[in-house]
Structure 1
Amino acid sequence: MSLSVLVVEDDREIRTLMQSSLAVEGFDVRTAVSVSEAKALLQHSPPDVVVLDLGLPDGDGIELVHAVRKRHSLPILVVSARHQEAQKIALLDAGADDYLTKPFSVGELLARIRVALRHRGTALAPASTQYAVAGLKVDLNLRLVEVNGQPLHLTPTEFKLLARLVRSAGRVVTHRQLLADVWGPDFTEHTHYLRLYMGQLRAKIEADPAEPRYLLTEAGVGYRLAAE
C-alpha cells in the first residue's frame, strides 16, 4: 500500500508541483488549501506525513501543527518563505519535524520526507529513477527515453505515465492509482484516458504493440512495467 501525504498549500502552482512530484514517487497524495480543510481530512483519514505551508487563508500553519500533535505522532514538514530563526524554532518546539525554506528543490523535499519517516520507524527506499531492460532505457533525472539506442520523443503526459510505471517497475500499478498520479484525483474514473495514452506509449516503445514486451496489462487491475 502506498504511503499517504497530505499537502497543505494554498498556492496552486506549488501545490500542483508537490502533488505531481510526490505522486510520481509512489505516494498517495491528498491536498488541502486551508487549515479547516486540512483538519477535516486529518479527522477522517489521517495521512502518514503532512507537508504544511504556513500562510493559509483562514489561519497560520502553526495552529495546524498544534492540532495534529494533540492527536497524532505522524511527521510534519513545514515549507515556508519565512526565514526568521525565531519562527523556525517556534514551529519545531510546537511539534514540527523539519522546516524547509522556499524556494526548495523537489529532491530535497523528498529526502526530508524520507528522513522524517525513518525517524518514525518507517523505512522508505528511494523510488527507481532508471530503467534498462532488453533495449528500453529510461532515465527520469535526464528525462531520457531510448529504444535500441535511439532517442524517443514522448509528450509530457506520456512521460509522466511511463515515469510512474518506472518508479514501480515489476509491480502492478492500479488503473485508479495511475489516473490519480498522472491526471489528478478528479480523474480516477476516466479510464479511457489511460487506455488512450497506454496505446500511444506502446505504439512508440513496443516492437509489436499487440504483444507488448514492456508495458504489460494486468487484466481488470492495472499495468506493470516488466522488470526483466
Structure 2
Amino acid sequence: MARNSRHGQGKIVLVIEDDQAMATLVRTYLEHEGYEVETAETGEEGIEMVQRVSPHVVLLDLMLPATSGWDVLRTLRSRRDVPVIMVTGRRTEEDRLRGFEGGADDYVVKPFSPREVVARVRAVLRRCGLRHEPGPQVHRFGRLEIDEAAREVRIDGIDVGLKPREYSLLCALAANVGVALSRDALLERVWGFDFDGDERTVDVHIRRLRAKIEERHAYGPCVQTLHGFGYKFVAQA
C-alpha cells in the first residue's frame, strides 16, 4: 500500500472503537493516507481525547462498553463541532436517521471496506470546509451574514452556532437565492454522491436551521418549503 500524504497531511482522526483489530486496520489505512490517528477503546476515553488532541474528525463506534456511542455523540455535540462519522453494525433506516438527528455527519455500516472509510473521512473533511479555497468572503443577507473564513453564520453580529452540516446546508441554499432546490440536489451537494440515506435527513436539518435562525433570532422566514419538492432560500432585507 503506497503512502499518500496529500490528503491527510496535518489532519487528526480519532477512532473510538473497542474492537482493537478493527481499530488497527482502520488506523493503518488512514496513516497510509497521511492522517495522524489517535485511538480510544471506551466512550469515556474518547471524550477525554477529543478535549486533549482536538481531532479534525471522529470515527465513533456505536456499540461501546459502558458509555454507548449515542451518549458519546450527545456529549460531543453539546461541547464541540468536530465532525463525527458513526460506525456500526446496525443497518435500519431508523438507526441511520437517529444518528443524523443526533448530529452525526456520516454513517458507515459494518462490515465495510477500509478504503471506503478513508474516502468518507476525506469527504467529511471537504464538506466541513477544512480545505479552504482562496478568497473567503462574507455574504450578507440583511441581518444575516455568512463568514466563509470563520465558517460562522451570524445574525446581528452574534454567532448562531450552526453545526458543520447545518452550515453546509445553509451555504448550499444561500448560494442559490430564490432558486428551488430539490431534496435530492441538497443531498448530493451537502452529503455527497455516496450518501445512501433518506430524503428526510434534509428535513431534519432544515428544522434545526429554522429553530436556530428563525425562532431563536427572529430572522426570516429565510427557508421556504416547496411541498413535494424541496426548499429555497429567500433573502431578508
Paired position in structure 2 for 1:179: none
1:73-88 residue pairs with structure 2 within 5 A? 73-88=81-96
1:199-214 residue pairs with structure 2 within 5 A? none
Cα separation, 2, equivalents of 1:73 and 1:120: 10
Runs of 4+ in structure 1 over 4 Å off:
none
Cα separation, 2, equivalents of 1:57 and 1:110: 25
1:121-140 residue pairs with structure 2 within 5 A? 121-123=129-131
Describe the SS at the equivalent of 1:86: helix
- The correspondence for 2:65, drawn from 57, 62, 75, is 57
Paired position in structure 2 for 1:45: 53
CA shift, 1:59, in A, is 2.2
- Contact 1:114–1:123, Cα closer than 8 Å, also in 2: no
Paired position in structure 2 for 1:106: 114
Cα separation, 1, equivalents of 2:28 and 2:22: 10
Describe the SS at the equivalent of 2:34: coil
Percent of aligned positions that are identical: 38
Cα separation, 2, equivalents of 1:59 and 1:85: 23
**Structure-2-length-normalised TM-score:** 0.50
- Contact 1:10–1:34, Cα closer than 8 Å, also in 2: yes
Larger radius of gyration: 1
Letter in 2 for 1:76: V
Describe the SS at the equivalent of 1:108: helix
1:165-180 residue pairs with structure 2 within 5 A? none
Cα separation, 1, equivalents of 2:91 and 2:127: 25
- Contact 2:73–2:103, Cα closer than 8 Å, also in 1: yes
Describe the SS at the equivalent of 2:72: helix
Cα separation, 1, equivalents of 2:89 and 2:24: 17
Paired position in structure 2 for 1:11: 19
Paired position in structure 2 for 1:91: 99
CA shift, 1:45, in A, is 2.0
Cα separation, 2, equivalents of 1:51 and 1:10: 12
Q: Residues 67-125 of structure 1: CA distance to partner in whole angstroms, max 9, x if unpaired?
A: 1111211210011111121111111101000100001111211111111111111239x
Paired position in structure 2 for 1:66: 74
Letter in 2 for 1:57: P
- Contact 1:2–1:27, Cα closer than 8 Å, also in 2: yes
Cα separation, 2, equivalents of 1:29 and 1:14: 13
Alignment length, in residue pairs?
124
Q: Residues 188-223 of structure 1: CA distance to partner in whole angstroms, max 9, x if unpaired?
A: xxxxxxxxxxxxxxxxxxxxxxxxxxxxxxxxxxxx
State whether structure 2 residue 125 is matched by structure 1 residue 117.
yes
1:145-160 residue pairs with structure 2 within 5 A? none
Gaps of 5+ in 2: 1-8, 133-237
Letter in 2 for 1:107: R
Cα separation, 2, equivalents of 1:27 and 1:3: 6
